[in-house]
């Protein structure tokens, strides 16, 4: 499979069978991304939680691709009300085997809520996703603080690559992300959710200096990793 990073928390996964997955499609208003909404081609949209910088362009992308939105049930209900035809609701701790692989919804310590027409809409609990596919295990933590159960994930799963937020203020900062990487015992960690805005400006080299050589992969926008 191929993994490409597109700024903030946007991750694109292309499976060997041709299926395409887009995680947290924050494109409009994202100063770091190289993607354009009208050009995105995907079969699946995975949404970690209901903040604007993660829901992003979920609705137009889902509609133009006839793509399925996967997220917590309240978020999927919202997507349906917005005209998305295909959704798959999940909840924390649950897993489901899709055509592209097995997906488990992981707890995240954060908040959630989507502003529309001046109103804050509750979109369910925040989450992360753990994907097991093609013999690999990928963890996208979404927006989260450091939490102790990451150690359980590290014991139960052999994680090949973990995408962890490091922006601080709203999520873990670099120091906590280092601890998360150790608890997860991941083979590789990619820092995400940083430098998009001044409030979350961080130096990812802090992770490089604190973790064993070769563990940290600082992905440039548009960069592809093959697993």
pLDDT at position 157: 98
pLDDT at position 126: 98
Q: What burial class does residue 116 get, using C-beta atoms within 10 Å of its C-beta: 0-12 exposed, 13-18 middle, 19+ buried?
A: exposed
Tell me if 159 sits within 8 A of 152, measured CB to CB: no
Which domains does the chain carry?
Answer: 2-218 (3.60.15.10)
Please give the C-alpha separations between residue 78 and each of 11, 95, 124, in angstroms, as whole numbers.
22, 21, 10
pLDDT at position 111: 97
- Report CA torsion sign: 187, 137, 69, 221: positive
* Per-residue confidence in pLDDT tens, the chain, 227 aa: 999 999 999 999 999 999 999 999 999 999 999 999 999 999 999 999 999 999 999 999 999 999 999 999 999 999 999 999 999 999 999 999 999 999 999 999 999 999 999 999 999 999 999 999 999 999 999 999 999 999 999 999 999 999 999 999 999 999 999 999 999 999 999 999 999 999 999 999 999 999 999 999 999 999 999 99
Residue 98: which region, alpha, beta or left (left: phi > 0; alpha: psi -120 to 50)?
A: beta
CA 134 to chain centre: 19
Tokens of 112: 């959630």
pLDDT at position 29: 97
Nearest Cα to Cα of residue 22 among 51, 52, 62, 50: 62
State the Cα torsion 150-161-93-17 to the nearest 10°: -170
Contacts of 151 (CB under 8 A, 6+ apart): 183, 184
Rounded Cα distance, 177 and 166, in Å: 6
Strand order, beta sheet including 68-72: 86-90, 68-72, 44-46, 20-23, 11-14, 2-5, 224-226
Global pTM value: 0.97
Rounded Cα distance, 167 and 210, in Å: 16
Tell me if 27 sits within 8 A of 41, measured CB to CB: no
Nearest Cα to Cα of residue 46 among 129, 155, 163: 129
């Amino acid at each position: 499979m191929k993994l490409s990073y597109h700024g903030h928390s946007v991750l694109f996964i292309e499976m060997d069978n041709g299926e395409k997955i887009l995680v947290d499609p924050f494109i409009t208003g994202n100063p770091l991304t190289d993607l354009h909404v009208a050009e995105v081609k995907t079969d699946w949209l995975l949404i970690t939680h209901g903040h604007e910088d993660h829901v992003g362009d979920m609705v137009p992308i889902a509609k133009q691709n006839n793509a399925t939105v996967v997220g917590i049930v309240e978020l999927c209900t919202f997507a349906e009300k917005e005209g998305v035809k295909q959704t798959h609701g999940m909840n924390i701790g649950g897993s489901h085997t899709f055509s592209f692989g097995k997906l488990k919804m992981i707890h995240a310590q954060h908040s959630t809520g989507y502003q529309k027409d001046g109103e804050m809409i509750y979109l369910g609990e925040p989450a992360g996703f753990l994907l097991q596919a093609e013999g690999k295990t990928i963890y996208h933590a979404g927006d989260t603080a450091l939490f102790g159960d990451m150690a359980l994930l590290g014991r139960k799963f052999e994680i090949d690559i973990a995408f962890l937020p490091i922006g601080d203020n709203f999520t873990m900062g670099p120091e906590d992300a280092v601890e998360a990487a150790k608890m997860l015992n991941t083979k590789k960690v990619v820092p995400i959710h940083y430098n998009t805005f001044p409030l979350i400006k961080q130096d990812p080299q802090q992770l490089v200096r604190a973790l064993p050589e070769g563990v940290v992969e600082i992905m440039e926008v548009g960069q592809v990793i093959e697993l």
